[in-house]
């Protein structure tokens, strides 16, 4: 008996010990969990507080929201340099607000089926869609699918910003839920359909219907409704006036989705899909056309700069370029929308007296040609840009000959890219060569080059001074200089001055004579030649002095654009001296002005398809181009006459001022620009990346717009897309004895009869 009791006591003792151990382990685990929770609270408490603040903000916004939030907007005004209104950027949504019951059911369904299929099921946020989008984006390793509901889009567009941050997204979610709690599904759709952007200044379905069809929405058929619904996803890409085929493509997708989800019967679907949509765009006065389109573009890029967009002009591949274009397009569209509905005041540098004089010079010197093409647009065209050398600001810009046309038409001064011929030589051949230590009196040899270019007259002078080679625009000399500098070295100077369509030409010898894949614009050429007059300092061309709000709060100012050293001071002054000789006794004879000392360079291309003159005084720099939108051989034209007529007018009342003289044998020790093909790198205007003059590295510089939109040369545009027109195809360096025109300018080795080139 005693033995039995003893054994039971031991068993009980072991059991108690195990329970104590279990309790101890449990306490440890509980303690760890509490510790983890406390640590997590400490770490995430600031974010929890911030989320709470965002929720409270969302509640406050929703509680104070009213109909006025969804139907009000302000017009942005564009002023000339004297404060006189010359144009506007208007948001018309407040003029065409329509109630939900007046919006056709098929039009509503077209948006729901494409933008938010489960709209009637969720309470502002579709968590299933978020999961679907996350999976799709993960598989594609890219953003290929969005998850924002219609309510979230409304909250973002009306109350929030396009900022990409977790805070904005969290507030958007809270706000969407609060709006759903306050308003009915029908009210939210009403707000949404009256506020989305349809391109070309149209906000809301009614404005878009009137703008593109001159019909009210109740007059639209099914195909037209789907066509309208196709635009807001990307108003630039699906702009009906410039990218009609893209819009039709997305219309067909919408029609298919409507049929697939039983919103429309099969017969209606088939009829609508096969319907050819006929646009009937609203008439818009074309007064100050060139000025307004350029001002809108520059103002949009100013806001892009304000919000930190990384402008570039150099790219490593087509894929790199295409990716940049997509980013640019999205940012451009967003900033343009801000201007259209934000009620800003855009103060420009445009001098309307100079503007009228430049337009008159182009018109009068081309008045003998009355032939028209598509849309009644003059076939023979001209473009010009004039810059104030003191400020670097554009004072006048002409994108076409004057005509009574509907809408904002193609502005060839900044949207078209053409072969520059010999006018490019000073920028990529002679100036870099001078920086190697040469002078205008240096001896060069004009001689036949096997597998190289021929001179226009077939004559080779042998030894001659560099000044004479420039004066006579000797192709062989420029070609050999370019080989010494290297194509990538010469092109790097253009890249650092924002020439954004030449990055693919870094290996092409023909660039020495102006043979580019796409070409250059008059704005780019004027800014580059102004750099020569400005002793080598480049300033990005723009016509925006500043942008303010209606209460005069400064938003953006031209002073935010910093100048950059591109060329040496003395090299620029030597170049100016040689370009004076060009005007006095060389290919530029006929451009001289009685009241101004000027320097400049002519440029023509293969088969005389493009004609240029770019020149400057101590006061102004002006570039002039004449050609056809779809390149063909030019008749006898005179760019110098346009330059001369305008420059004599704009210099009226100004002191006739000589250029600064260069120093014999001097070198500029303060320069930041490269002085040889193997020397210092040229800083980009982003201050981050650099490019050596003999390297194919990225030069991250301020570039003009790249939103990838093709503009029909004879059609209408909102004036804010940046398509170019030019001869496609690069020069084949193996072709010898290229035929050149009178001033010796070289063009791309192609037939030049390509369609307009998109950005």
Rounded to 10°, the helix 2-64/166-182 angle is 70
Answer yes or no: is pLDDT of 144 > 80. no
pLDDT at 168 over 70: no
Q: What pLDDT was estimated at residue 376? A: 85
| Contacts with 588 (C-beta within 8 Å, 6 or more apart), sequence order | 579, 582, 600, 601, 602, 613, 615, 640
Which residues have CB under 8 Å from 522's CB, separation 6+?
383, 384, 385, 412, 413, 414, 623, 624, 625
Residue 579 to residue 569: CA distance in whole angstroms: 15
The more confident residue out of 93 and 81 is 81
Report whether pLDDT(121) > 90.
Answer: no
List the single range of 85-89, 262-266, 392-396, 484-488 with lowest mean pLDDT: 85-89
| Residues 198-213 pLDDT 10s | 988 788 898 899 889 9
Count Cβ atoms below 10 Å from residue 249 Cβ, excluding itself: 12
Q: What is the pLDDT of residues 327-363, one digit of tens each?
A: 999 999 999 989 988 879 999 999 999 999 999 999 9
Residue 173: CB atoms within 10 Å? 22
The more confident residue out of 177 and 673 is: 177
User: Stretch 503-520: mean pLDDT, rounded?
Assistant: 90
Q: What is the pLDDT, as a whole number, of residue 408?
A: 61
Q: Looking at 28-32, 162-166, 647-651, which range is the least confident one?
A: 162-166
Q: What is the pLDDT of residue 1?
A: 46
| For residues 13-27, average pLDDT | 59
More confident call, 294 vs 756: 294
Please determine, for residue 153, whether its predicted confidence score (pLDDT) is greater than 70: yes
Determine the Cα–Cα distance for residues 719 and 411; give it in Å rounded to an integer. Answer: 7
**Mean pLDDT highest for which of 67-71, 210-214, 645-649?**
645-649
Number of other CB atoms surrounding residue 164 within 10 Å: 7
Rg of the chain in Å (alpha carbons): 32
Q: H/E element holding 210?
A: helix 205-213
Tell me the mean pLDDT in the region 40-61: 67
pLDDT digits (tens, 9 = 90+) for 516-556: 999 999 999 999 999 999 999 999 999 999 999 877 899 99
Please report, for the chain, the start and end positions of each structural domain, with discontinuous segments joined by +. Answer: 69-74+93-273, 352-717
Between CA 320 and CA 49 the distance in angstroms is 41
pLDDT attached to residue 726: 33
Task: State residue 592 phi and psi, 5-degree precision.
Answer: -65, 150
Distance from C-alpha of 233 to C-alpha of 591, rounded to nearest angstrom: 50
Q: What is the pLDDT of residue 29?
A: 75
Q: Give mean pLDDT, residues 630-638.
A: 90
Q: Which pLDDT does position 736 carry in this prediction?
A: 28
Sign of CA pseudo-dihedral 114, 118, 123, 129: negative
Q: pLDDT tens digits for 89-116?
A: 875 443 467 889 999 999 999 999 988 8
Instruction: Give 361-375 pLDDT, tens digit per residue.
Output: 999 999 999 999 877
Say yes or no to pLDDT of 145 above 80: no
pLDDT in tens, 457-502: 889 999 999 999 999 999 999 999 999 999 999 999 999 999 989 9
What pLDDT sits at residue 713?
Answer: 33
Mean pLDDT along residues 546-568: 93
pLDDT band for position 653 (cuts 50, 70, 90) = very high
**Average pLDDT rounded to a whole number, residues 286-293:** 78
Check whether domain 69-74+93-273 has CATH 1.10.3810.10, yes or no: yes
User: Is 724 in contact with 708 (CB distance < 8 Å)?
Assistant: no
Average pLDDT, the chain: 81
pLDDT, mean of residues 666-683: 39
Please compute, for residue 378, the number of CA atoms within 13 A of its CA located in the half-sphere on the CB side: 20
Q: Residue 699 has what pLDDT? A: 29
Confidence band, pLDDT 50/70/90 cuts, at residue 673: very low
At 702, is the pLDDT very low, low, confident or very high (cuts 50, 70, 90)?
Answer: very low
**pLDDT for 64:** 72
Average pLDDT value for residue range 423-436: 98
Asked whether this chain's domains 69-74+93-273 and 352-717 adopt the same fold, the reply is: no
Instruction: State the Cα–Cα distance between residues 550 and 559, nearest whole angstrom.
Output: 20
pLDDT cut 90: percent of the chain above it: 54
Dihedral pair phi/psi, residue 670, rounded to 5° = -95, -5
DSSP secondary structure code for residue 596 in this structure: B
Res 218 pLDDT > 50: yes
- Res 179 pLDDT > 60: yes
Tokens, residue 270: 């088939």
Please check the confidence at residue 406 and state whether its pLDDT lies above 70.
Answer: no
Min mean pLDDT across 139-153, 219-233, 425-439, 680-694 is at 680-694
Topology of the domain comprising 352-717: Beta-lactamase (3.40.710)
Which range in 68-77, 446-455, 483-492, 604-613 is most confidently predicted, on average pLDDT? 483-492
Pairing state of beta strands 344-348 and 394-398? Answer: unpaired
Residue 716 has pLDDT above 60, yes or no: no
Q: How confident is the model at residue 143 (pLDDT cuts 50, 70, 90)?
A: very low
User: Which value, to the nearest 10 degrees, does the dihedral of the CA atoms of residues 355, 356, 359, 363 take?
Assistant: -170
Q: Is 581 helix (H, G, I), strand (E, B) or coil?
A: helix
């Amino acid at each position: 008996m005693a033995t039995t009791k003893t054994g039971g006591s031991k068993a009980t003792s072991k059991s108690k010990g195990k329970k104590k151990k279990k309790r101890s382990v449990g306490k440890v685990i509980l303690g760890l969990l509490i510790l983890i929770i406390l640590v997590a609270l400490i770490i995430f408490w600031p974010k929890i507080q911030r989320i709470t603040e965002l929720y409270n903000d969302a509640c406050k916004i929703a509680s104070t929201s009213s109909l006025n939030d969804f139907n009000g907007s302000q017009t942005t005004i564009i002023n000339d340099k004297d404060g006189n209104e010359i144009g506007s950027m208007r948001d018309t949504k407040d003029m065409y607000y329509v109630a939900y019951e007046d919006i056709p059911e098929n039009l509503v369904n077209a948006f729901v089926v494409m933008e938010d299929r489960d709209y009637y099921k969720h309470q502002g946020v579709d968590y299933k869609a978020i999961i679907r989008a996350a999976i799709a984006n993960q598989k594609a390793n890219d953003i290929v699918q969005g998850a924002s509901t219609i309510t979230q889009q409304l909250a973002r567009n009306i109350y929030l910003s396009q900022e990409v941050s977790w805070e904005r997204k969290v507030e958007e979610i809270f706000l969407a839920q609060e709006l759903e709690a306050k308003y009915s599904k029908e009210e939210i759709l009403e707000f949404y359909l009256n506020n989305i952007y349809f391109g070309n200044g149209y906000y809301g379905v009614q404005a878009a219907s009137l703008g593109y069809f001159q019909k009210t929405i109740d007059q639209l058929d099914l195909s037209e409704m789907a066509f309208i619904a196709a635009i807001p996803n990307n108003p630039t890409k699906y702009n009906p006036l410039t990218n009609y085929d893209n819009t039709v493509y997305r219309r067909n997708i919408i029609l298919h989705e409507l049929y697939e989800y039983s919103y429309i019967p099969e017969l209606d679907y088939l009829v609508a899909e096969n319907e050819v949509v006929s646009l009937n765009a609203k008439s818009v006065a074309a007064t100050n056309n060139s000025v307004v389109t350029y001002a809108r573009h520059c103002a949009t890029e100013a806001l892009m700069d304000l919000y930190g967009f990384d402008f570039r002009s150099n790219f490593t591949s087509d894929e790199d370029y295409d990716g940049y274009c997509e980013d640019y397009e999205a940012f451009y569209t967003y900033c343009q929308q801000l201007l259209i509905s934000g009620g800003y005041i855009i103060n420009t540098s445009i001098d309307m007296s100079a503007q009228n004089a430049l337009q008159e010079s182009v018109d009068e010197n081309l008045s003998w040609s009355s032939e028209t093409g598509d849309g009644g647009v003059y076939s023979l065209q001209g473009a010009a840009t004039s810059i104030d050398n003191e400020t670097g600001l554009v004072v006048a810009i002409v994108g076409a000959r004057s005509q009574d046309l509907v809408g904002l038409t193609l502005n060839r001064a900044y949207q078209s890219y053409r072969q520059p011929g010999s006018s490019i030589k000073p920028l990529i051949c002679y100036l870099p060569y001078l920086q190697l230590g040469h002078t205008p009196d240096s001896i060069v040899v004009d001689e036949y080059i096997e597998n190289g270019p021929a001179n226009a007259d077939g004559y080779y002078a042998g030894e001659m001074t560099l000044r004479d080679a420039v004066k006579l625009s000797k192709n062989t000399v420029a070609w050999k200089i370019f080989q010494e500098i290297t194509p990538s070295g010469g092109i790097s100077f253009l890249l650092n001055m924002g020439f954004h369509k030449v990055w693919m030409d870094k290996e092409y010898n023909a660039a020495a004579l102006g043979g580019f894949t796409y070409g250059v614009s008059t704005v780019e050429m004027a800014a580059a030649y102004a750099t020569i007059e400005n002793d080598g300092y480049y300033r990005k061309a723009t016509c925006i002095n500043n942008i303010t709000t209606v209460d005069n709060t400064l938003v953006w100012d031209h002073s935010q654009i910093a100048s950059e050293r591109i060329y040496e001071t003395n090299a620029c002054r030597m170049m100016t001296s040689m370009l004076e000789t060009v005007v006095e006794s060389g290919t530029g004879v006929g451009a001289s002005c009685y009241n101004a000392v000027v320097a400049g360079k002519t440029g023509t291309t293969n088969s005389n398809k493009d004609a240029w003159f770019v020149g400057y005084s101590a006061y102004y720099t002006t570039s002039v181009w004449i050609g056809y939108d779809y390149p063909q051989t030019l008749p006898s034209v005179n760019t110098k006459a346009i330059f001369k007529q305008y420059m004599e007018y704009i210099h009226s009342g100004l002191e006739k001022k000589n250029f600064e003289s260069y120093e014999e044998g001097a070198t500029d020790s303060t320069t930041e620009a490269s002085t040889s093909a193997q020397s210092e790198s040229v800083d980009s205007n982003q201050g981050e990346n650099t490019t050596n003059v003999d390297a194919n590295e990225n030069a991250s510089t301020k570039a003009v717009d790249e939103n990838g939109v093709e503009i029909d040369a004879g059609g209408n545009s909102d004036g804010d897309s940046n398509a170019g027109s030019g001869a496609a195809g690069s020069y084949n360096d193996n072709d010898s004895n290229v035929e050149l025109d009178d001033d010796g300018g070289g063009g791309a080795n192609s037939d030049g009869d390509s369609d307009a080139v998109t950005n």
